[in-house]
Amino acid sequence: MRQSSTPVIRSARPGDAGLVLDFVKQLAAYERLEHLVESTEALVDDALFGPRPAAECVIAELDGRPVGFALFFQNFSTFKGRPGLYLEDLFVVPEVRGRGVGAALLHHLATVAVSRHYGRLEWAVIDWNADAIAFYRRLGAVAVDDWTVFRLTGDALSALARTNGVA
């Protein structure tokens, strides 16, 4: 059977939560962060299809087989005065990398952002992933090196929530 040269991008639909979680776990393993994955199929299902969806997801298929995904959500830029699209996860299975799947996923997200009149599409990439960084630069993306990401999780998040903000 001849392989398709063009990936098909479709929206995730109810019933895809297990597939999305599998892609998340594959991404985490690639990034050597699988020990941080706490998500479950039920959490993914609720985040994508529950009463208050927190994110959207698209699936890339080649020859009808899921080979990648992009999970994203709306953020907001006060400087631009407009929403933006934040790409949380992008993953393509290793055996089809280089066949345009990642580019097709990012093209789809750029189209979504433009059609919604968003001011930007942004994401973070782990600093040792030279292949991804080179790929993003080839697409015209620029690194925002003068910003540092901060994060509160777990005990630190809970502790701050219990205080009045005084450290």
With H, G, I as helix, E, B as strand and everything else as coil, classify residue 101: helix
Please identify which residue in the block is written with the tokens 């830029």: 77
With H, G, I as helix, E, B as strand and everything else as coil, classify residue 13: coil
Other C-beta atoms lying within 10 Å of the C-beta of residue 151: 6
Contacts of 75 (CB under 8 A, 6+ apart): 83, 84, 85, 86, 122
Residue 103 near residue 139, CB atoms below 8 Å: yes
Is 136 catalytic? The answer is yes
- Starting at the edge strand that comes first in sequence, how are the strands of the sheet with 82-92 ordered? 8-11, 56-62, 65-77, 82-92, 121-123
With H, G, I as helix, E, B as strand and everything else as coil, classify residue 99: coil
Among 30, 86, 118, 136, which one carries the catalytic annotation?
Answer: 136
Catalytic residue list: 136
